[in-house]
Structure 1
Amino acid sequence: MLVYHPAFDVYHGAFRALLLLEHTPSKSMFADTLRIVDLYFVFPYLLAELDFPKGVGREGRRLAGVHSRFNSLPSPKVFLSQTKSLPRLVTSALVGKQLISEESLKDGVVARTDEPIPGDLLSQADARDVELATYLGTKIATVPLLGRKGLKERSKLMEFRYDPA
């Protein structure tokens, strides 16, 4: 049986990446940060397990109470590891459309270019999507990725023990 799931859809992934980047103050983030916040976008209930930075937990716990419109994961860490190639496809597609910088991507940073997003693509996001993308972009994606209390350690989704301090 073939089942559609947006988490595996490159086009939906490109939409999510653009939505998250547009709601991040710098309009850029490390590729691994994008992988983590994208997982939280698709499965917001996973936010309940995040070690929130000071001052952002209340809203995060409220958003974590929102059930995923898609489904649940048996192991988020395994899922993130198994879908490692999907973000590469998404970023390659966005580079091809000149919506993110190829040069920044070589350094592991996904950064929006000045190229306008086609048509009314982002207007397809409903209010819930925008609220979640805004929270993730401004409160979670801005947390440093590496080091003590970095996003990798806080999320427990990626190995962090060997990161530079």
Structure 2
Amino acid sequence: MFQNLLSAVICAIFTVGVSVSGSPLEARADIPDFFLVVSSNDPATNLKPVRYAANGYSTTLGGTGLPIKFNFAGGDLQTSETVIHRGYISFPTGPTCVTYGPLDLVVGSSSNKCANHIGFGLSSFQYNSQLGAELVYRYTGGFYACGSDQQIYYKTSPSNGQPGLSCSLVHLYTVPVIA
């Protein structure tokens, strides 16, 4: 685990910490920006940064979209862009809300009655907190890379999820944005 995390930090600093949208990155001391990079046992997902999916609001490890620059402000996970997108778990609706859903980004709020912006947090690695913190949601469940595009999903249990959708457990760690 430690080696995967250290490798993810080093890799991310040299591959995604250089520029976003062609301009130098600006770190703000009052609200530190970070990328989310995966640590996993699956070589298909390990060390990949979280990116925008082609639809412009979902998060994925696949594709060619830019790595997303995040921060926490006012207790919300959000993007660090001109137009701020808030992170939320888009729990599918039905007769009741289910216990899994994609990690999506929205401007303002969602009309999905089951979607939830509240509950994101960062958990420091207990043996060495300098290596980055893990993104958590309500300190339960976990994040998964699902489908051929490796879209990021949250599940309260590994057995939850859409039937037929192949998913692998991933850990999302922060990597600081370097100016």
Larger strand percent: 2
TM-score bracket, shorter-length normalisation: under 0.3
Q: Which structure has the higher relative contact order (CA within 8 Å, separation 6+)? A: 1
TM-score, scaled to structure 1: 0.24
Structure ranking higher in helix proportion: 1
